[in-house]
Structure 1
Amino acid sequence: MKVLHVITGLAAGGAEQQLRVLLPRLRARCEVAVLTGRGVLADAIERDGLPVHRIGMRGNTDLRAVGRLARLMRGRRYDVVHTHLYRACVYGRLAARLANVPAIVATEHSIGHEHIEGRRLTRPVRALYLASELLGHATVAVSPTVAERLSLWGVPRSRIVVIPNGVDGAAFGFDAELRRRTRERLGLDPRAFVVGGIGRLEPGKRFDVLVEAVSALGGAVLLLAGTGSCEPRLRRLARDAGAEDRVIFAGESTDVPALLSAMDVLAAPSAEEAFGLAVVEALAAGLPVLYGACPAVEDLPPGAAPGARRVAPDRLAAELAELAARPPERLPPPEAVRCYDVRHQADRLESLYLRLLGAAPEEEKR
């Protein structure tokens, strides 16, 4: 079975990191097509021995990308095309239809009530999404929460398959020596209380709330991993609060375990999430987590993630102060981490591919 994964870009975001983690666990022969700039994860995927095809799309209305994708798909004769993120889903599903690809799958990583990947959910955006969804054969929701949102949009339940994001829990196990080296590399005091934030620096992540909370917490350091349009504003906010030297902008990184090792708590103040991958990774690393919204935790039975607590924005500073007053402590990975084992999720995806191709084992068909 030969599978082409089509994704909008390969910067170090949640969907992109998820694809990189998933690819080595799939038994199918996989290749990747990236619509826009390669990003730091393209090199990482190629180092893993997988081809990355650059489509060179220039903006949202570059319709020539459809032709380039379709030619790639026809020439390399893929059995499955699997798209990720809004633009790739719209263009990739159309190209796959034109190329007569037997099975077309899309994963919905980032749909919210009012936004999808930072875009406002206007009527045209929604109409284009629903029209392109009909060109595929199945849409994967990364959480039951996302499945419900898709259904409310008008995607038929019969076309939605829930397969959550996956995490390699062992890769995030705490390592004291890695913590020491990472703090040294970042110029962090070994004794500092380090609050972490991981994700795109965009409005929906509400990292401004986190900058304000840490600025009010004397001696604490904020380590922000990611890039985005809000970075200049966040830097000004830290400077105006007199905390410029206590907010570290680490930029994009493919080594999330090292960053988590340097932290004492992860804060994820987003008002809305589709899954909350950074939260699960932090739990795997033994960190306490304060979050604003996280379907990955909230869709599980109570008690599956005892180290994670939902916190209102106006309580974030007080909760961080309470944690800072206690000696840093690593927690055992909770049941939530085992629920999202990436090997299990890879098996479920391959079963979906086989079912769509009409080649599923008899027990899978039943």
Structure 2
Amino acid sequence: MRALHVITGLGVGGAEQQLRLLLRHLPVRCDVVTLTNPGAVADGLRADGVRVRDLGMRSNRDLGAVPRLARLIRRGSYDLVHTHLYRACVYGRIAARLAGTTVVSTEHSLGRAEIEGRPLTRGTRELYLRTERLGAATVAVSDTVAGRLRDWGVPAARIHTVPNGVDVAAFRFDRARRQTTRAALGLPGTAFVVGGVGRLVPGKRFDLLIRAVAALPGAWLVLAGDGPEAGALRALAARLGVAGRVRFLGECGAPGGAAPDIPAVLSAVDTFASASREESFGLAVVEALAAGLPVVHAACPAIEDLPADRAPGAVRIGSASGAGDPTEELTAALRHRMEGGARRLPPPPAVDHYDIRISSRRLLDVYAQALDTPTATPTVTPTERALP
């Protein structure tokens, strides 16, 4: 089987990194096309031996991207096209249909009111649903996302849950790596260090982590990631007088980058915090659990979709109603962790549930079913040919 993966961009992000990890474990010949931004993950894929092409899409309304992509699919004689992220799903589904190729799409980032961190609009939803019908299947990265797709009106028979996965062995705690990373980051050997990982965007609410650490004398914070909020978060740390206790690492794990990789960061910290307003999965939380860290989290379907005993080291803050002060709740939870002292936990059952090898096998089953199932041929109208 030959498959073409189409993704919106290949900068460092959760969906992008997940694609790279998946291709390492998927026993299928795969190429990748990025609509735009062939960033650090593109370099990583090429280092893994994957052929990556940049479609050079100039804007959201670059309609010429559709025939360019359709021609590329035809020339490659691919058995299946797999699309990732909103823009690639919309354009990729249309192009694959024009090329006469079966298409499967993964929904990575559908929240209650946002998609890929941007507010959902009626036009966004309508375009998504119209093009969704062009595919053979839609993959949800969590049961929570599967439920949101059903609520949107996607037929349940077309939805397949294939959770994001982690390479469990890569995150196993290493004491020597902890000491080396702490020294490299200038962290005191006995300091209590909180870790946070993700794109520095408003929805991740990293400002709450900075405020909580500011209220905990002696605590330090390490933030791994980059994004448009980086400047504002640095300014907040300075304003609260904790700039010296916060380490901003930027993008981690990029080939040739100076920052340590995420497993090294997780070895160096003592607890992990995720204050995201909403998530479609919560991969960073699972990685932290794999590293044996106690976790404090807000929205995290990866944990909430499982029985409570699958992740005993994870504590949830906040409520569905949004009542209470999230900064105070996070501060109290971190204070409790700090007073209890640094400790490592055995990776909980939730980690094995999300092993990347299991996810790859589940995805192969979706591919097999999609290739055996003929799809309807709805007409693509002109109103469906551009993003809102």
Shorter-normalised TM range: over 0.9
Q: How is 1:163-202 mapped onto 2 (pairs within 5 angstroms)?
A: 163-202=162-201
Q: Of residues 363, 367, 387 in structure 2, which corresponds to 1:353?
A: 367
**Cα distance between partner residues in 1 of 2:148 and 2:6:** 23
Question: Contact between 1:90 and 1:128, CA under 8 Å: does it hold in 2?
Answer: yes
**Cα distance between partner residues in 2 of 1:66 and 1:183:** 48
Paired residue type of 2:63: L
Match of 1:161 in 2: 160
Greater alpha carbon shift after TM alignment, 63-72 vs 84-93: 63-72
Paired residue type of 1:57: M
- In the TM superposition, residue 266 of structure 1 has moved relative to its aligned partner by 0.8
Match of 1:339 in 2: 353
Q: What secondary structure sits across from 1:224 in the alignment?
A: strand
- In the TM superposition, residue 149 of structure 1 has moved relative to its aligned partner by 0.4
**Cα distance between partner residues in 2 of 1:130 and 1:142:** 18
- In the TM superposition, residue 11 of structure 1 has moved relative to its aligned partner by 1.8
- In the TM superposition, residue 325 of structure 1 has moved relative to its aligned partner by 2.1
Paired residue type of 1:288: P
Q: Of residues 291, 310, 316 in structure 1, which corresponds to 2:316?
A: 310
Q: Is the aligned partner of 1:320 residue 2:319?
A: no
Q: How is 1:250-269 mapped onto 2 (pairs within 5 angstroms)?
A: 250-254=249-253, 255-269=261-275
Match of 2:295 in 1: 289
- In the TM superposition, residue 64 of structure 1 has moved relative to its aligned partner by 1.9
Q: What secondary structure sits across from 2:249 in the alignment?
A: strand
Q: TM-score, normalised by structure 2?
A: 0.90
Paired residue type of 1:324: M
**Cα distance between partner residues in 2 of 1:358 and 1:131:** 22
Question: Contact between 1:22 and 1:342, CA under 8 Å: does it hold in 2?
Answer: yes
**Cα distance between partner residues in 1 of 2:291 and 2:316:** 18
Match of 1:70 in 2: 70
Question: Contact between 1:11 and 1:252, CA under 8 Å: does it hold in 2?
Answer: no
Q: What secondary structure sits across from 1:218 in the alignment?
A: coil
Q: Is the aligned partner of 1:129 residue 2:128?
A: yes
- In the TM superposition, residue 20 of structure 1 has moved relative to its aligned partner by 1.1
Deviations 1:115-154 (A, max 9, x none): 0001211111111111111111100011111011011111
Match of 1:142 in 2: 141
RMSD: 1.2
Deviations 1:170-219 (A, max 9, x none): 11000111112222222222222111111111111111111111111112
Match of 1:329 in 2: 343
Paired residue type of 2:287: E
**Cα distance between partner residues in 2 of 1:57 and 1:248:** 35
Q: Is the aligned partner of 1:108 residue 2:68?
A: no
Deviations 1:28-77 (A, max 9, x none): 10111111111211111111111111111122112222222112111111
Q: How is 1:34-73 mapped onto 2 (pairs within 5 angstroms)?
A: 34-73=34-73
Q: What secondary structure sits across from 1:10 in the alignment?
A: coil
What residue ranges of structure 2 are gaps of 5+ in the alignment?
254-260, 319-325, 374-388
**Cα distance between partner residues in 2 of 1:93 and 1:182:** 43
- In the TM superposition, residue 358 of structure 1 has moved relative to its aligned partner by 2.1
Match of 2:202 in 1: 203
Q: What secondary structure sits across from 2:10 in the alignment?
A: coil
Q: What secondary structure sits across from 1:223 in the alignment?
A: strand
Question: Contact between 2:104 and 2:370, CA under 8 Å: does it hold in 1?
Answer: no
**Cα distance between partner residues in 1 of 2:39 and 2:187:** 27
Match of 2:245 in 1: 246
Paired residue type of 1:28: V
Report runs of 4+ in structure 1 exceeding 6 Å deviation.
none
Paired residue type of 1:39: G
